[in-house]
């Protein structure tokens, strides 16, 4: 607690004010001989002059206001209040509080409009006569108005709140823990006028929160107070909020109703869990126990209830953690028992302020504290003193330590009524409080390093449900290059985005310090314009008056050719798009580059150029996130390291950093000690007996992008098998990714053929890691995978070029196909749909449904015949569906199975099942992309730049997983260390359209000899949607002729006895009989 003087908010019980204000009667010295002489009071203390408003006057007005049958008396009472308020001075201000309560009640008079009008006028007269710090003192009459049965009284009380907001937002913010719960109750009133006005007032009150992170979500937070149905969506939005400011009581207050309803939500365990996670992490950002204390009685009972009643054990565990964190944040013992009626001893109120003011008066007057305390309890003094304590409490809770403000409207004017040393006492009180507050804050240690400071700030950072930094310090100098190091998910990219968005508390605004966040945000398929047009379309560059000539000159300095400069963005490779992003940042005239993985997609030559460029910039600073240890070592002058939610800055490059912090050596090694990826076994592949047999072939392929004349691929021929470990190397723009797209069906060659085993399944991790998930940010990773494969096939593959029919193919597919019948005749039929596939000897046949015929009149047609009529792509899709089913039969698509699968890829349940994709870090999204692609147990894994966004631990885990994988792997990467550790075969694509292959062992297997494929079926059982254990069956067993006849006889007996055919073997028997008949004909 930063100062024992600082009180915490009152609870509802304390609003009754145990020290009830009493009002001094007109002083008669003859009746009060003890006060008739000044020397009866302590030094500098004096009896206050008689107030123009007495207790008797207030009680008389109250009695008149309650005369229900006398309209004139009630109206006269309201008018008398207006007159008293208008003539009131500082001496009468403490007596106005009870008059305010009477006025609010009169404003709701249900018998006379004249009385209501007079009451409204009386209420509106108060704000200008009350101190700006009297919000706390006025809460009792305001809450009386909120709880009135008459809606006009509620409206009058709401107007009072509006007036306080317009006068001093911070004073209102200090009272939000008490104010917002009461105001929330008014928002669900039955009267439409009250609902509309209270919603408007809540919006005004919310502006007092003073947290820019919450501001965009305030409308949603307010909406969920009125509409319970909005709570789940609001919890999700709040969970994805980036917090960079210290969380104080006002922030917790505005979130309180949402979190309470989230925990109370009856039907959705996931919402209760997420609400508990938010409480847990937000409390970690609370530095002052007094900020959390008011919420103990509101949230702890709900957390305890969830801990006891929720069926999900994982949710109960999260609620237990949040319970302990909230207790700790409020300064309570771990085993403390808190209920709705508990009052924490950490919650200091006016009582502590009373003691401190008494002490200050004693020091100034030179009198004993006992004499001062006795004097302050005198009936003529106590109302003023209690009012002073309420004002001072309000000011201290608002963290207002401005002496001039205290002297003008907080303590001095009222203390001076009965104490001659009011100003010195006030000054001593403020100075003591301010000194204690500053002492509790973390002192920023100024570095003695030479150079111009760019920023120097303390702040906190969280990403929704994940606490990232707590009261961390950031200090940057001009012309320096800072490497930002930490494990995946620690918040490196989030910090840079928060800096660029102006969300870091204390960081200079864009007008003083221009920051530019450089990331891989240029997607070629999104920009059909030329490069120059694309750069000039940026709003910041337009503001600088940059011309096309300036852009062209800058691009040439970045080694862009004339063809590139005037060509479309779509023609750029990933590496050149990164250089374009850097050039765009230069034209924005940045003071600080925020570089997020700048070396991704860059080849060796361009990486060397980037290093030289950054080192040459003496006036521009850089903050760099990169998993390329060599790049950081050569470029950085400082390393900023994430350590237990703090930022620690080390002078020197990565090598020097490791010398000072040996535990950080993992940033330079491919290590998997702390993380492990497990790739699923490829599964059975029909007809493949050894691992070196080709299951993918591309023969004499040629490809040119539309609108260009450069031949990207000219006569390329390759093959892949289950034993392949291939690294595809070449400079940026040479055509590596294009070749991969041909193999996977993302592109189609203009010449040549690409063949894939009909049952082969592949996983494709695209160059831009978020390609597959960027359209599903509102889903959780678990939901995304279940959506992607819910139809039995990969929905992400449906948009492939090889699944889109040409006009010629559509024409052929509508033609009639001659189909021979059993009687020897031939029918010409048009295919309506291809239903399934079967193998006949070494060939495949497809079951076709015909237009104009009944559904049961289907025929099996050879693959070769359907190919002639343009059905090749259709059949390939059927093949993919059958292959997908072969992989999915081993694992039902349930939440539990998907969760276990994602854990195998380093994505824990907290992120894989309970957080939306938009809340994941870059590295976590890549794990999702990798895991989702591997769900179908692929035989070939194609990874285009898999090292992007993965830290060293993840790279090590990926390398080990690839080594242990039972299928083929094709890598495109500029990370030589990663490629050298895995490759056995190299495909070089220099950019001349040709493909140079070395190290291939086609026909030899991994070890130089044929490696037999062994497959004994899935090694573990799976769970169905209800959590039942499912015994996995392997591929259908081939039966001998004798076994087929025995089953045929058994089925005939069942039919003769009238039994149902209930087993799979009964229904599959026809297929075995058909196979046996075909063999007989052969």
**Mean pLDDT in residue range 47-58:** 89
Backbone angles phi, psi at 409, to 5 degrees: -140, 15
Backbone angles phi, psi at 677, to 5 degrees: -100, 140
CA–CA separation, 600 and 947 (whole Å): 8
**Mean pLDDT in residue range 275-295:** 82
pLDDT above 70 (res 1018): no
CA–CA separation, 1071 and 1076 (whole Å): 9
Q: What is the pLDDT of residue 524?
A: 44
The secondary structure element, H or E, covering residue 79 is: helix 71-87
**Mean pLDDT in residue range 480-496:** 83
CA angle 187, 192, 196 (to 5 degrees): 55
pLDDT above 60 (res 887): no
pLDDT tens digits, 642-654? 887 788 889 888 8
Q: Nearest to residue 841, comparing CAs of 535, 1082, 493?
A: 1082
**Mean pLDDT in residue range 778-794:** 85
pLDDT above 90 (res 704): no
Q: What is the pLDDT of residue 848?
A: 93
Q: What is the pLDDT of residue 21?
A: 39
Q: Nearest to residue 138, comparing CAs of 107, 93, 180, 106?
A: 93
Q: What is the pLDDT of residue 489?
A: 67
Is the Cβ–Cβ distance between 928 and 647 less than 8 Å? no
For residue 243, what pLDDT band results from cuts at 50, 70 and 90? low
Which string of b and e fits 52-76 if b means at least 16 CB within 10 Å? ebbbebbeebeebbeeeeeeeebbb
For residue 1022, what pLDDT band results from cuts at 50, 70 and 90? low
**Mean pLDDT in residue range 16-21:** 38
Q: What is the pLDDT of residue 16?
A: 39
**Mean pLDDT in residue range 731-741:** 78
pLDDT above 90 (res 101): yes
pLDDT tens digits, 971-1008? 887 766 677 778 888 888 888 888 888 877 664 444 44
CA–CA separation, 278 and 281 (whole Å): 5
**Mean pLDDT in residue range 776-784:** 89
Strand partners, 820: 826
**Mean pLDDT in residue range 602-614:** 83
Q: What is the residue-averaged pLDDT of the chain? A: 80
pLDDT above 50 (res 23): no
**Mean pLDDT in residue range 429-437:** 85
**Mean pLDDT in residue range 240-251:** 72
The secondary structure element, H or E, covering residue 476 is: strand 466-477
Tokens coding 505: 């508390």
Is the Cβ–Cβ distance between 469 and 645 less than 8 Å? yes
Q: What is the pLDDT of residue 333?
A: 73
Q: What share of the chain is helix, strand, coil (3-state, %, to 5)?
A: 50, 15, 40
For residue 298, what pLDDT band results from cuts at 50, 70 and 90? confident
Q: What is the pLDDT of residue 794?
A: 77
Q: Nearest to residue 463, comparing CAs of 664, 284, 322?
A: 284
More confident site: 879 or 1021: 879
Tokens coding 730: 């070449």
pLDDT above 70 (res 827): yes
Q: Nearest to residue 971, comparing CAs of 797, 739, 754, 748?
A: 739
Q: What is the pLDDT of residue 788?
A: 87
Among the residue ranges 159-173, 326-340, 661-675, the one predicted with the least confidence is 661-675
For residue 269, what pLDDT band results from cuts at 50, 70 and 90? confident
Strand partners, 698: 718, 754
Among the residue ranges 182-186, 617-621, 675-679, 816-820, the one predicted with the least confidence is 675-679
For residue 27, what pLDDT band results from cuts at 50, 70 and 90? very low
CA–CA separation, 145 and 147 (whole Å): 5
Among the residue ranges 255-259, 280-284, 415-419, 632-636, the one predicted with the least confidence is 280-284
CA–CA separation, 859 and 232 (whole Å): 51
Beta strand 515-518 with 592-596: parallel, antiparallel or unpaired? parallel
pLDDT above 90 (res 762): no
* Dihedral sign computed on CA atoms, order 327, 330, 336, 341: negative
pLDDT above 70 (res 266): no
Q: Nearest to residue 137, comparing CAs of 110, 106, 164?
A: 164
Strand locations in 94-252 (E): 242-243
For residue 271, what pLDDT band results from cuts at 50, 70 and 90? confident
Cα Rg, the chain, nearest whole Å: 38
Tokens coding 558: 């970045």
Q: What is the pLDDT of residue 346?
A: 54
Residue 855's CB is within 10 A of a number of other CB atoms, namely 10
pLDDT above 70 (res 1011): no
More confident site: 441 or 801: 441
CA–CA separation, 819 and 813 (whole Å): 15
For residue 525, what pLDDT band results from cuts at 50, 70 and 90? very low
More confident site: 318 or 1001: 318
pLDDT tens digits, 178-193? 999 999 999 989 999 9
Q: What is the pLDDT of residue 147?
A: 93
For residue 670, what pLDDT band results from cuts at 50, 70 and 90? low
**Mean pLDDT in residue range 67-96:** 92
Q: Could you write out the three-class secondary structure of 188-222?
A: CCCCHHHHHHHHHHHHHHHCCCCCCCCHHHHHHHH
pLDDT tens digits, 928-964? 888 888 888 888 888 877 776 666 667 778 888 888 8
Q: What is each CA distance from 193 to 121, 154, 190, in whole angstroms?
A: 19, 10, 9
Q: What is the pLDDT of residue 3?
A: 41
* Dihedral sign computed on CA atoms, order 975, 978, 979, 981: positive
Q: What is the pLDDT of residue 1015?
A: 46
Q: What is the pLDDT of residue 86?
A: 93
């Amino acid at each position: 607690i930063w100062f024992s003087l600082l009180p915490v908010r009152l609870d509802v019980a304390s609003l009754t004010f145990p020290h009830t204000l009493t009002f001094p009667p007109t002083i008669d010295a003859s009746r009060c001989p003890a006060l008739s002489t000044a020397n009866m009071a302590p030094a500098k203390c004096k009896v206050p002059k008689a107030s123009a408003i007495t207790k008797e006057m207030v009680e008389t007005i109250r009695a008149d206001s309650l005369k229900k049958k006398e309209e004139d008396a009630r109206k006269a009472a309201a008018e008398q209040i207006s007159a008293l308020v208008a003539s009131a001075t500082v001496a009468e201000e403490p007596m106005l509080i009870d008059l305010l309560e009477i006025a609010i009640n009169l404003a709701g008079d249900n018998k006379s409009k004249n009385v209501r009008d007079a009451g409204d006028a009386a209420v509106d007269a108060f704000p200008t006569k009350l101190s700006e710090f009297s919000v706390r003192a006025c809460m009792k009459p305001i809450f009386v108005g909120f709880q009135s049965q008459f809606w006009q009284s509620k409206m009058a009380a709401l107007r009072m709140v509006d007036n306080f907001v317009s006068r001093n937002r911070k004073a209102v913010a200090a009272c939000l823990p008490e104010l917002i719960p009461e105001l929330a109750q008014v928002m669900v009133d039955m009267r439409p006028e009250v609902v509309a006005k209270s919603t408007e007032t809540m919006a005004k009150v919310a502006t007092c929160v003073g947290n820019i992170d919450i501001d965009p979500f305030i409308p949603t937070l307010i909406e969920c107070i009125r509409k319970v149905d909005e709570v789940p969506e609001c919890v999700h939005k709040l969970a994805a909020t980036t917090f960079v400011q210290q969380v104080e009581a006002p922030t917790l207050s505005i979130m309180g109703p949402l979190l309470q309803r989230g925990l109370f939500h009856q039907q959705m365990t996931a919402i209760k869990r997420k609400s508990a996670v938010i409480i847990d992490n937000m409390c970690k950002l609370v530095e002052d126990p007094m900020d959390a204390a008011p919420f103990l009685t509101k949230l702890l009972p709900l957390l305890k209830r969830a801990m006891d009643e929720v069926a999900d054990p994982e949710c109960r565990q999260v609620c237990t953690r949040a319970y302990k964190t909230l207790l700790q944040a409020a300064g309570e013992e771990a085993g403390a028992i808190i209920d709705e009626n508990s009052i924490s001893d950490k919650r200091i109120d006016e009582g502590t302020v009373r003691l401190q003011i008494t002490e200050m008066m004693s020091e100034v007057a030179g009198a004993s504290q006992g004499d001062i305390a006795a004097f302050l309890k005198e009936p003529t003094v106590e109302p003023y003193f209690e009012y002073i304590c309420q004002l001072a409490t309000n000011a201290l809770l608002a963290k207002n330590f401005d002496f001039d403000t205290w002297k003008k409207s907080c303590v001095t004017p009222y203390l001076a009524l009965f104490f001659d040393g009011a100003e010195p006492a006030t000054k001593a009180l403020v100075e003591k409080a301010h000194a204690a507050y500053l002492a509790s804050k973390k002192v920023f240690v100024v570095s003695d390093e030479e150079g111009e400071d760019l920023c120097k700030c303390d702040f906190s950072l969280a990403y929704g449900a994940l606490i990232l930094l707590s009261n961390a310090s950031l200090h940057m100098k001009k012309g320096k290059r800072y490497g930002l190091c930490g494990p995946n998910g620690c918040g490196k990219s989030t910090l840079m985005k928060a800096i660029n968005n102006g969300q870091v508390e204390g960081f200079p605004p864009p007008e003083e310090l221009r920051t530019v966040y450089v990331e891989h945000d240029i997607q070629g398929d999104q920009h059909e314009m030329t490069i120059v047009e694309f750069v000039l379309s940026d709003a910041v560059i337009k503001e600088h008056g940059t011309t096309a000539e300036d852009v062209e000159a800058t691009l040439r300095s970045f080694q862009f050719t004339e063809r590139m400069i005037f060509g479309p963005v779509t023609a750029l490779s990933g590496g050149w798009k990164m250089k374009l992003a850097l050039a765009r940042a230069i034209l924005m005239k940045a003071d600080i580059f925020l570089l997020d993985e700048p070396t991704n997609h860059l080849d060796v030559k361009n990486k060397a150029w980037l290093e030289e460029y950054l080192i040459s910039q003496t006036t521009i600073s850089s903050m760099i996130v990169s998993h390329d240890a060599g790049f950081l070592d050569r470029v950085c002058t400082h390393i900023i390291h994430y350590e237990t939610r703090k930022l620690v800055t080390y002078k020197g490059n990565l090598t020097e950093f490791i010398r000072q912090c040996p535990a950080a050596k993992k940033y330079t090694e491919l290590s998997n000690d702390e993380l492990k990826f497990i790739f699923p076994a490829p599964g059975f592949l029909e007809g493949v007996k050894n691992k070196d047999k080709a299951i993918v072939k591309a023969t004499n392929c040629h490809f040119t992008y539309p609108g260009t004349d450069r031949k990207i691929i000219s006569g390329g021929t390759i093959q892949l098998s289950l034993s392949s470990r291939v690294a595809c190397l070449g400079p940026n723009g040479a055509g590596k990714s294009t070749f991969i797209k041909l193999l996977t069906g993302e592109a189609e060659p203009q010449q040549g053929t690409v063949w894939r085993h009909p049952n082969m399944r592949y996983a494709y991790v695209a160059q831009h890691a978020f390609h597959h998930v960027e359209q599903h940010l509102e889903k959780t990773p678990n939901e995304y995978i279940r959506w992607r494969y819910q139809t039995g096939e990969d929905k992400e593959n449906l948009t492939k070029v090889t699944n889109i029919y040409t006009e010629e193919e559509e024409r052929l597919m509508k033609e009639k196909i001659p189909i021979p019948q059993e009687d020897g005749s031939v029918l010409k039929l048009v295919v309506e749909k291809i239903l399934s596939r079967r193998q006949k000897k070494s060939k495949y046949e497809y079951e076709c449904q015909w237009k104009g015929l009944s559904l049961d009149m289907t025929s099996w047609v050879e693959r070769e015949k359907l190919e002639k009529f343009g059905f090749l792509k259709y059949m390939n899709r059927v093949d993919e569906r059958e292959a997908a089913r072969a992989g999915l039969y081993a694992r039902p698509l349930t939440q539990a199975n998907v969760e276990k699968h994602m854990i195998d890829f380093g994505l824990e349940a907290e992120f894989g099942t309970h957080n939306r994709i938009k809340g994941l870090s870059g590295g976590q999204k890549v794990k999702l992309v990798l895991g989702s692609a591997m769900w179908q147990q692929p035989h070939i894994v194609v990874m285009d730049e898999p090292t992007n966004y993965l830290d060293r631990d993840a790279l090590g885990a990926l390398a080990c997983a690839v080594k242990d994988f039972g299928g083929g792997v094709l890598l495109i990467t500029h990370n030589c260390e990663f490629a050298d550790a895995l490759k056995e075969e190299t495909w070089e694509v220099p950019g001349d359209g040709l493909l140079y292959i070395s190290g291939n062992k086609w026909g030899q297997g991994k070890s130089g000899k044929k490696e037999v494929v062994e497959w004994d079926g899935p090694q573990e059982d799976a769970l169905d949607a209800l959590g039942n254990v499912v015994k996995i069956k392997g591929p259908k067993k081939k039966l001998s002729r004798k076994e087929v006849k025995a089953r045929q006889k058994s089925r005939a007996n069942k039919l003769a006895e009238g039994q149902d055919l209930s087993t799979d073997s009964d229904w599959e028997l026809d297929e075995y009989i058909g196979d046996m008949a075909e063999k007989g004909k052969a």
